[in-house]
With several copies, the nearest count.
Chain A
Amino acid sequence: MTRELLKGNVAIGEAAIRAGVQAYFGYPITPQTELLEYMAWRMADLGRVFLQAESEIAAINMVYGAACTGARVMTSSSSPGFSLMQEGLSYIAASDVPAVVVDMMRGGPGLGNILPSQGDYFQVTRSAGHGDYRPIVLAPASVQEAIDLTMLAFDLADRYRHVVILAADGQIGQMMEPAELPPMQPLTAAPPWALRGAQGRAPNRISSLYMHAESAEAANRRIQSRLSQIRQYEQRSLEYATEDAELLVTGYGTAGRIALSAVQAAREQGLKVGLLRPLTLFPFPEERLSVLADRVQACLVVEMNAGQMLDDVRLAVGGQIPVEFYGRMGGVVPMPDELLTVISRMYRRVAAPA
């Protein structure tokens, strides 16, 4: 395969297609619109299903229906639109049907703006709707990762029959970078639980309704055990220069990527700084983080929000080391220099006090 210069939104769309997505339902919203627009012609070209829904609510419920047929299906949106999908997401998760949802996060709360942000971390990782469950959440930091994690998203969705959210931000959606697309995969066959007409078999029924507390609790336990499997097997993260680091920086997606530049610069200045960049936000790579927490003096969390993954980091390190936070909000993307300043100050304070 050759490398192409690809826009994040387009790359995700094409990756989904190569992963065998059979239907896309979506509603325009900046900064993910190009993904929808790409699907509009590409899916039609391939004779697959593309439909611009009347709203994000309709889109997620179309996804719900389409997913019930056993097909690989997808929708994408950005923060306000993602908020509108909460009820539908909760239904999907409760019904054990796989679905992939892209949240190309933008500045919030409210209408906010269309600039890159990570303000939906809580919403994507904690529940995405009412009731007890957590979606699998993947956080790409580059166009290539957007492709790779989109492919992974479909596999995980099918494997666990669970909702997978690709949580990126406007910068990743809008940016072009060289990247390599995987080969086209064949469409997956419909699984036995799919709704396709009860021909020669007992009816299949998909629902999230459990009138009685006992059956509802059993359904919840099923979800929880699925989640603990996911916690056990699916934690993923990348590291840079953590071997001898005194200060560990952590951040995901765009913030994590920019933090890498800052960490590299800090290393050039001789500071023993390392980076852990989670690829999965749920399951949060707590195992790896707690291993690293044993080694470093302190940890700095960088996010494009007011401090959300911060909770997961603090939970993972469990008070072992001081954890500090640096965040920009409302669509401001921190610059490498800015992070370098923050890192070196903190380094002097906590890791190598004079």
Chain B
Amino acid sequence: MQDSFLFSGFGGQGVMFAGQLLAYAGMDAGYHVTWIPSYGPEMRGGTAHCFVILSDQAIGSPVLPRPAVALVFNQPSYEKYAGQVAPGGLLVFNSSLITADQSPSVPTLAIPATATAHGLGDARLMNMVMLSALLTVRPVLPVSALEAALAAHLPAHRRSLLAANVQALAAGAALAREAWLSPA
């Protein structure tokens, strides 16, 4: 098993943490895991992204030319990565902020994640909505693994947000089930 994930969005959208949480969950599940960010001036004013790989054998490259899964949080990321997902892959996008004007060759999952997060009281929960949506339709790990990872690895100063995060995970999963099962 090897699965690869690209997370991309504006700085501040929680791109990095979403990737890290997946990596934590993967690690706790016993996988080989790598997480690697875009770094340096690339981030300046543009989109930030990170790349996560889960694998049951040693991981050679922590970045691949085409991810199996892309989670895109904003329009520029969509433009950039929609066409880059590997065959057999999946594109999950934040339909609250993205107008899907391409027809990628892979299945897509449109999640109104920002709106949903807003509904939960904090737009910053968007990343959790997206992440659990992803795992719902591509169950590399159970969504509960994310919850456990949150509990285990959320930094101390963010502990107060644990419950809200868990709620967001649930909401994302629900949305994904809905969207995925009811063909558009």
Contact = CB atoms under 8 A, between A and B. Distances in A.
Interface in B42-74: 42, 57-65
Contact of B27 (A3, A174, A257, A336): A3
Contact of B57 (A3, A257, A264, A337): A264
Contact of A178 (B27, B57, B61, B65): B27
A114 interface: yes
Which residue of B23, B32, B34, B153 has the most chain A CB atoms within 10 A of its CB atom?
A: B34
B36 interface: yes
Contacts of A171: 36, 62-63
Contact of A5 (B20, B39, B59, B63): B20
| 8 smallest beta-carbon distances between A and B, as pairs | A261-B60, A176-B35, A30-B40, A114-B40, A258-B60, A175-B36, A178-B27, A258-B61
A176 B40 contact: no
B12 interface: no
The B contact surface, by secondary structure, is mixed
Interface of B: 20, 23-24, 27, 32-37, 39-42, 57-65, 153
Nearest to A337: B65
A261 B34 CA distance: 14
Contacts of B58: 260-261
A177 B27 CA distance: 9
Interface residues of A, number: 24
Contacts of A257: 60-61
Contact of A175 (B40, B57, B62, B64): B62
Contact of A333 (B33, B42, B61): B61
A176 B34 contact: yes
A261 B63 contact: no
Given A174-B37, A177-B34, 8 more contacts: A5-B27, A5-B35, A174-B36, A176-B36, A211-B42, A258-B60, A336-B60, A336-B64
A49 to B, nearest CB: 27
Contacts of A3: 27
Contacts of B65: 335, 337
B37 A177 contact: no
Interface in A88-132: 114
Interface of A: 3, 5, 30-31, 114, 170-171, 174-178, 211, 257-262, 264, 333, 335-337
Contacts of B27: 3, 5, 178
B40 A31 contact: yes
A175 B60 contact: no
A335 B64 CA distance: 7
Contacts of A262: 60
A337 B4 CA distance: 15
A111 to B, nearest CB: 12
10 contacts: A5-B24, A171-B36, A175-B34, A175-B62, A176-B36, A178-B33, A258-B61, A335-B61, A336-B64, A337-B65
Contacts of B23: 5, 176
A258 B23 CA distance: 20
Contacts of A177: 33-35, 62
Contact of A261 (B20, B35, B42, B61): B61
A276 to B, nearest CB: 16
Contacts of A335: 61, 64-65
B39 A31 contact: yes
Contacts of B61: 257-258, 261, 333, 335-336
A335 B60 CA distance: 9
A30 B35 contact: no
Contacts of A5: 20, 23-24, 27, 33, 35, 153
B22 to A, nearest CB: 11
A175 B38 CA distance: 10
B141 to A, nearest CB: 15
B41 A175 contact: no
Contacts of B153: 5
Contacts of B37: 174
B88 to A, nearest CB: 15
Contacts of A175: 34-36, 62
Which residue of A3, A178, A262, A333 has the most chain B CB atoms within 10 A of its CB atom?
A: A178
A114 B20 contact: no
A302 to B, nearest CB: 11
A178 B153 CA distance: 13
A259 B60 CA distance: 7
Nearest to A176: B35
Contacts of B32: 178
Contacts of A174: 36-37, 39
A31 B41 CA distance: 11
A30 B60 contact: no
A173 to B, nearest CB: 9
Nearest to B33: A178
